[in-house]
Amino acid sequence: MDNSKNFIADIPANAAEFFTAVTHAATELYISMHVLDLEDKTVYPIKTNEFIDKFMKCGGTLQESLTNIMVNLACPESVETIKNFTILSTLPERMKKANVISEIFHGKIHGWSKAIFVRIGDEKPLRRVLYLVENVNAQMTKLEQEKELLEQNRKQQNMINALMNGYASVASVDFVTDKVEIFRTSDRIKNALGSTKEPPTFKALVEKLLNTTVLEEDRDSLRKVADESYIKEYLPVGNSLSKIFHNELGQYVEMKVVRTGEETTVFGFTDKTNEITEINDKIYRDSLTQVMNRKYFDEKLASQNCQAVVMADIDFFKEINDTYGHQCGDAALAAVASILSSSVRNLDHVVRYGGDEFLISFKGISHEVLKVRLEQMRAKAEKIVLKDYPNVKLTMSFGGTFGDGAVSDMLSFADKALYISKKKRNCVSLVPFEEKN
């Protein structure tokens, strides 16, 4: 087919030179560039080559020539797509509301390519268009890379969701950049983070959470597990570990650490209070009084730090047992245990130490508040009325020590204070804790 037009011949010399320079610069981006006249059925080649010229001349009409070029440029899987795109009879309708339309296809020679129609002028109906074929291998490679990255991120997100199923807060850290990506967070963690728009660095985040949401006695052990060097040394890629700790209210929380890559680690946090409480109830709760038992004291509480330890018992308990029987004694124990439990916070612990003797440990309490609290307990004990034993009058004696130390170290001071109270009965005695050097 030889029905090309020479548009440049009709352009003034200076304008023609400028147009030629611009066209030459523009064509560097493209495999081929032609101006098509849909009314005259003619073509003006701006950029072409022997391969394109060969197949352009094989067609009897402009449509056949254009189709012939594209069918021979495209790989078999792209032939139908590009044939449909280059149908000229439907072009005016397809470009009614668009000045540019394009289609990606895979070429035999140039790889990923883009076919483009560009409207020339405002003539209606559509008459002239610029037809370009562009090499887009670089763009498609980048797109494929982005798609692959998105797929990897999707797979990682699915893996994180599976590993962290049921965890209220989940965050990932990149140890190279020290940046944190938060996937989901509970209201408690949100409050701890405050109103910052961007997550803090990992080290700053760990310290912030430790200081605001973790019980002081658990901070050092948790800080160790969350340390980058510890994770890299003791946690191989693909493995995980869990750590149970107490939040600032004394409730159980589990931290799960999953090393997802050489430099990436995921952290999950979830409330374990109900689950751990259920386990502890079976092991450490006294079945009669429903407070913690001596085993709990020996295995869990004795080594913990606190600010006050109190020993308390029921006055004349042996006489109650001897006079009214052990069932009455059991009712008395349950009643006083209920009063003690309801008078302390989640941070504090009530233990049936033995017989009618109870131990109470207090966190973060002053001498003044401690004394008021114990006087309230003593007064409540006086008002106990046992349902089946209305004639039994109960009183309790309390002996406590205040300071700062391990529960086991403070116990002997509380015992001394209780001994002082037992001389009077139905009273509270407090002595200071003197830590041994």
Question: Domains (ranges, CATH) in the chain?
Answer: 8-135 (3.30.450), 161-274 (3.30.450), 285-432 (3.30.70.270)
Angle in degrees, 0-180, between the axes of helices 317-324 and 326-342, rounded to the nearest 10: 140
pTM for the whole structure: 0.46
* pLDDT in single tens digits along all 437 residues of the chain: 556 555 545 555 555 554 555 555 555 678 888 889 999 898 888 888 888 888 777 778 989 988 988 888 889 988 999 999 999 999 999 998 889 999 988 888 878 888 999 999 888 889 999 898 888 887 777 767 766 766 666 656 655 655 566 777 888 888 888 888 887 777 777 776 776 667 778 888 888 888 888 888 889 988 998 899 999 998 888 888 888 888 888 788 888 888 888 888 888 888 877 766 677 778 889 999 999 999 999 988 999 899 999 999 999 999 999 999 999 999 999 999 999 999 998 889 999 999 999 999 999 899 999 999 999 999 999 999 998 898 899 999 999 999 999 999 999 999 999 999 999 999 999 999 887 65
Supply the pLDDT for residue 372: 94
Supply the pLDDT for residue 143: 67
Give the CA diameter of the chain: 128
Q: With beta carbons less than 8 A apart as the criterion, state whether 130 and 118 touch.
A: yes
Alpha carbons 163 and 240: distance in angstroms, whole number: 9
Alpha carbons 183 and 161: distance in angstroms, whole number: 9
Cis check for the bond before 125: say yes or no (omega within 30 of 0).
yes
Alpha carbons 57 and 54: distance in angstroms, whole number: 6
Tell how far CA 65 is from the center of its chain.
Answer: 58
Supply the pLDDT for residue 3: 64
